[in-house]
Amino acid sequence: MRIALMSIDEARGKSHVILAIDEDEPGKYWSVLDGLGSMVKAVKLGWMAILSMGTSGVSELIRKNNDKYFIMDAKMADVNFINEKITRKLRSIGFNGVIIHGFIGSSNAPPPLLDIFVLVSMSQGPTLYDKSFSEALSYAKEIKRKGIVVPGNRPDLIRLARESFPMDVIISPGIGAQGGRIGCAVRSGADFGIVGRSIYESSDPVKALLELEKEAREARC
C-alpha cells in the first residue's frame, strides 16, 4: 500500500483546488501534472484515467507524483462485498480516497480502507438526488466517511450541507466550465473546488490554477 505524503487535511491548509483530469490521451495526464508541479496538492482521477492508461499506468502516475493526494472518482454504487473488493484494489493502485454514491446507504458502503467521499447531489440534472436533498444528507450521515461531494454550482446546497456537516471535507465539482465560481463555493462552505477543463484545457494551466486559488482565498460570491 502506498503511503501518501499528503493527507487531505494537509492539502486543506495549502490549497482550495482538486485538479480533475478526464482525458483520452495518457500523455496528457503526465504533461498536465508535470506542468503544474507542486502547486497541485490533490488530484481526482476517474474512469477515463483507468480506461486510457490501465491500472498499471495509473499506479505509475500516482507513484511518480507522490507529493499529491489522489482520489478515485468511482461513483461507486454496488453491493457491499463488491464495493469492499473494489476499494481494496483501488488502495493497491495507490489511491488515497474514493468517491461513492450516497444513495447506496451505509449497509452497502465500503469499509473506510481509503478516505470515503459521499456524493449527495450532482452538478447537472435534474437527478433523483434533487427530489430530497435532506434525505440524501441523512444517508451520507450514516456512512463512515471523510467528506461529501456537493455541487460547486449550487452554493445554496453547499450552505445547507455545511450546516449539517460541520467537520466534513466538502469537495465541490461544477466550477468554471459548468458555471460554478470557486470563490462562492468556498464562501458557502466548500473546502475544495474540483476543477477539470478550466485548468487542463487552458492555454496557460499555471495561470488558470493560480487565479482559481486567488479567487478561492478571497471567498466572495
Residues that bind ligand O7M (CB under 6 A): 20, 22, 44, 46, 73, 99, 119, 122-123, 149, 151, 173-178, 194-198
Helix (H, G, I), strand (E, B) or coil at 21: strand
Q: Rounded to the nearest whole angstrom, what is the least distance from the CB of residue 196 to ligand O7M in the complex? A: 3
Least distance between ligand O7M and beta carbon 133 (Å) = 13
Give the nearer residue to ligand O7M in terms of CB position, either 173 or 183: 173
- Of all residues in the shown chain, the one whose CB is closest to ligand O7M is 196
Nearer to ligand O7M, 3 or 24 (CB): 24
| Residue among 173 and 205 whose Cβ is closer to ligand O7M | 173
Report how far apart, in Å, the C-alpha atoms of 167 and of each of 161, 163, 164 are: 11, 10, 9
3-class secondary structure, 160: helix
- DSSP for 47-85 reads HHHHHHHHHHHHHHHHHHTTTSEEEEEEEE-S-HHHHHH
Between 65 and 192, CB nearer to ligand O7M:
192
CA dihedral over 185, 186, 192, 197, signed as positive or negative? positive
